Amino acid sequence: MKALSVHLTDICNSKCSFCIVDSPFVKEDSISRKRVSRFLRENADKGYEAVNIHGGEATIRKDLMEILDEIRDLGYPTVYLQTNGRKMAHMKYTQELVDRGVALFIVSMHGATSLTQDRISKSLGSFDQAVRGLRNIKETGAKIRTNSVVCKDNFTEIPDIATLCMDLGADHINISALHTAGTAFRNFWEVTPRYDEIQPYVFEAVDRAVAREQVITLEGFPFCAIPGYDKYMINWRENQFKMLYRTWLFDDYEGYMDANTRVKDERCGGCAHNATCGGVYKEYAEMIGWDEFHPVLPLTAV
């Protein structure tokens, strides 16, 4: 799939302890409507199949509906919205988004209970709002992909989060390794678990989904940290994203991530997954090291 990806705002109505955008510490938004509109106009009629919009929290923009109208008027086929789901608790608002072309809602679910999710988001009521939001989205007939970032506060709940998302009607569940940048780097030791610590819980979540024939993917994990489950890694190379992020333009966002946010150790050269694995987030490698990572030996013919 060929898609545009647009960062609409630095600001969020939650203050997640691992926010990669660093929204809890952003005082002023840096995103101008003029720059967004120019990006959309310049790429219209170039074969892009969707526009993926995100933030911060895109739904707090007062001109979001106008931006969605602009996307539709320029002829883009569909819109994906990455959101914490809180404003979807209002059915009228959710229906307005769907009516303006949002076909896929990518909703953050970081807890199986309000105690966990509200603690992570530092926003009382955020869990209950997201749950109501998911139910409302389901009622409109739009598609839902949930995204759960694994951190110290929630890793033991990951299987239950997956079950909750399935019970709420998610079409696709995605479990993400923590990207240790932004607020996550500020709070590194507070939020960052080791991969070998979270592994059994991630595996159980996948097993529960597979047992229910649910689509589930993993994202951002080094392949050697999920032995036997690497087949569930989401393949972003099948999707070409051209991204506008603040004042930066990335023609190949996944390529940028591989080249600039992840690193490999010398031992990775002998791993069977070296060609496809993105490596380890560089901050994790610097702070925790490489002792838990072991190359997967290539299969040899008998």
Look at strands 280-281 and 262-263 and give their pairing: antiparallel
Confidence of residue 1 (pLDDT cuts 50, 70, 90): confident
pLDDT at 239 over 80: no
pLDDT at 237 over 80: no
CA dihedral 182→186→190→196, nearest 10 degrees, is 50
Q: Helices (DSSP H) in the chain: which residue ranges?
A: 33-42, 64-73, 91-99, 114-121, 126-140, 158-167, 183-186, 188-191, 195-211, 253-260, 282-287
- The token pair that represents 139 in the structure block: 């009622």
Whole-number pLDDT of residue 144: 98
Alpha-carbon Rg for the chain in angstroms: 19
pLDDT, tens digit, 9 for 90 and up, residues 112-169: 999 999 999 999 999 999 999 999 999 999 999 999 999 999 999 999 999 999 999 9
pLDDT, tens digit, 9 for 90 and up, residues 206-228: 999 999 999 999 999 999 999 99
Place of tokens 């952003």: 26
pLDDT at 184 over 90: yes
Containing H/E element for 102? strand 102-108
**106 close to 57: Cβ distance less than 8 angstroms:** no
> Quick check: pTM over 0.85?
yes
Confidence of residue 299 (pLDDT cuts 50, 70, 90): low
Half-sphere exposure of 42 (CA within 13 A, CB side): 11
The helices-and-strands tally (H runs, E runs) of the chain is 11, 11
Confidence of residue 254 (pLDDT cuts 50, 70, 90): confident
Place of tokens 């992909």: 145
Confidence of residue 232 (pLDDT cuts 50, 70, 90): very high
pLDDT at 301 over 50: no
The whole-chain average pLDDT of the chain stands at 95
pLDDT at 96 over 70: yes
Determine phi and psi for 83, rounding to 5 degrees: -155, 155
Determine phi and psi for 166, rounding to 5 degrees: -65, -45
Q: What average pLDDT does the segment 249-265 reach? A: 90
Confidence of residue 302 (pLDDT cuts 50, 70, 90): very low
Compute the distance between CA of residue 155 and CA of residue 120 in angstroms, rounded to an integer. 12
Whole-number pLDDT of residue 26: 94
pLDDT, tens digit, 9 for 90 and up, residues 41-94: 999 999 999 999 999 999 999 999 999 999 999 999 999 999 999 999 999 999
**66 close to 94: Cβ distance less than 8 angstroms:** no
pLDDT, tens digit, 9 for 90 and up, residues 21-31: 999 999 889 89
Q: How much of the chain exceeds pLDDT 70, in percent?
A: 99
